[in-house]
């Protein structure tokens, strides 16, 4: 069996380019004892992968030039020499950016019975949904009826953050990059106030949308968004620091917010987190989110790129706002 895979050809400088990647075809070995052969169905491209393209120490090791990339994906077992993973099983794993592969069965997580389409387990019921859930409820310590602002609101994480906050009776504000995204947030997802951050000052929008201030700012973007939100926080507000996508392609160090002292007088909590810090909540998250998705309390969208050769374009699209909801690459099989 053959598989195509995407490799890092060179480390991107600034905005990633298609020329930073190459596609190669490899043979996929038959599984030996304890191994499993998997055909991928869909794979994730995620903003954090940009950081792994830089040669530096982080919470995940850097990608190596000339090597295939990797990341979250879902596939189906097509041959197995591991009784724990029978042929036909849907498995979640870190062997993305390729069509098929053989690996030790212990590197796969069986998904069990699926209650939603398989790609939902990369998005709303997968890592981004879990990030929203733990970031808002655990890190953000959300209380019913509070005022919540989320940036990157029409993305995979942000769209779920806003909807969970609505389920908790909150007033919800969101920012995103286009009029179509804003219409989705207000007309379909129930956001109370949403704005295009290209249009006017973020601070003015926050003052208009949250005249009494913000209790929880879920930060996906950093930079100007964080600075504006700090100015509008209520006493004892919380800021889960989830991501800072506005800075991921910076070629020079980016200055921090110039008003961090707001955090002192207002007794704010700014807390960074990584979703995997909360793996102990994975089963609870899955059962609650499957229920919300199947009963329609939580809606999700996907932007689909079909074919492994489209994976670099899908990845780059995360930084130009090409996605509404979760960016997914579908693969044959």
- Judged by the rule CB under 6 A, the positions of this chain that interact with ligand NDP are 46-48, 128, 131, 152, 154-158, 176-178, 181, 220-221, 242-243, 245-246, 273-275, 318-319, 321, 323, 327
Spatial CA neighbour of 241 closest among 144, 140, 128: 140
Nearer to ligand NDP, 39 or 131 (CB): 131
Length of the chain: 333
Residue 154: φ, ψ to 5°: -95, 10
Indicate the residue among 60 and 297 with the shorter CB distance to ligand NDP. 60
How far apart CA 261 and CA 22 sit, in angstroms, is 46
> What strand order describes the sheet that includes 147-150?
193-196, 171-176, 147-150, 214-218, 233-241, 269-272
How many CA atoms are closer than 13 Å to the CA of 287, on its beta-carbon side? 3
Tokens for 22, please give them.
Answer: 């190459």
Q: Which residue, 68 or 223, has its beta carbon nearer to ligand NDP?
A: 223
Per-position b or e across 210-220, b if 16+ CB within 10 A of its CB: beebbbbbbbb
Closer CB to ligand NDP, 80 or 323, in the complex: 323
Which residues, 6 or more positions from 47, have their beta carbon under 8 angstroms from its beta carbon?
A: 243, 245, 248, 318, 319
| Closer by beta carbon to ligand NDP, 77 or else 316 | 316
Give 77 or 226: the residue with its C-beta nearer to ligand NDP: 226
Q: Which residues contact 107 (CB under 8 A, 6 or more apart)?
A: 93, 94, 95
CA distances from 297 to 9, 136, 164, 190, 327 (A): 43, 17, 9, 11, 21
Question: Given the complex with ligand NDP, which of 233 and 316 has the nearer CB atom?
Answer: 316
Work out the angle between the directed axes of helices 223-231 and 202-209 (0-180°, nearest 10).
40
CB of 89 to ligand NDP, least distance (A): 26
Q: Would you say 103 or 232 has its CB closer to ligand NDP?
A: 232
Give the pairing of strands 171-176 and 147-150: parallel
- Note the maximum CA span of the chain: 63
Q: Nearer to ligand NDP by C-beta: 262 or 273?
A: 273
Contact 75, 41 (CB under 8 A): yes
73: which DSSP letter? E
């Amino acid at each position: 069996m053959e598989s195509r895979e995407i490799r890092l050809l060179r480390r991107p400088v600034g905005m990633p380019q298609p020329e930073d990647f190459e596609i190669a075809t490899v043979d996929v070995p038959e599984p030996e004892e304890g191994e499993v052969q998997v055909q991928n169905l869909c794979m994730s491209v995620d903003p954090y992968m940009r950081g792994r393209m830089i040669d530096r120490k982080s919470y995940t090791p850097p990608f190596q030039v000339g090597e295939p990339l990797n990341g979250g994906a879902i596939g189906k077992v097509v041959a197995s020499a591991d009784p724990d993973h029978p042929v036909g099983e849907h498995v979640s794993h870190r062997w993305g950016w390729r069509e098929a592969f053989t690996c030790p069965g212990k590197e796969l997580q069986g998904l069990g019975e699926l209650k939603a389409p398989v790609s939902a387990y990369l998005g709303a019921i997968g890592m981004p949904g879990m990030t929203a859930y733990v970031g808002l409820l655990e890190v953000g310590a959300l209380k019913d009826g509070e005022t919540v602002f989320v940036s990157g609101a029409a993305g995979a994480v942000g769209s779920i953050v806003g909807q969970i906050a609505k389920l908790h009776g909150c007033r919800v504000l969101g920012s995103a990059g286009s009029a179509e995204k804003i219409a989705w947030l207000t007309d379909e997802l129930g956001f109370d106030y949403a704005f295009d951050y290209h249009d006017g000052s973020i601070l003015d929008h926050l003052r208009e949308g949250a005249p009494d201030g913000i209790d929880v700012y879920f930060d996906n973007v950093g930079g100007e968004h964080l600075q504006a939100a700090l100015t509008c926080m209520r006493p004892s507000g919380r800021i889960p620091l989830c991501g800072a996508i506005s800075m991921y392609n910076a070629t020079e160090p980016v200055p921090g917010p110039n008003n961090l002292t707001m955090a002192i007088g207002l007794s704010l909590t700014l807390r960074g987190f990584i979703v995997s810090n909360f793996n102990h909540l994975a089963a609870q998250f899955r059962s609650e989110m499957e229920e919300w998705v199947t009963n329609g309390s939580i809606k999700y969208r996907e932007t689909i790129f079909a074919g492994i050769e489209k994976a670099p374009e899908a990845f780059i699209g995360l930084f130009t706002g090409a996605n509404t909801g979760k960016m997914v690459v579908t693969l044959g099989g």
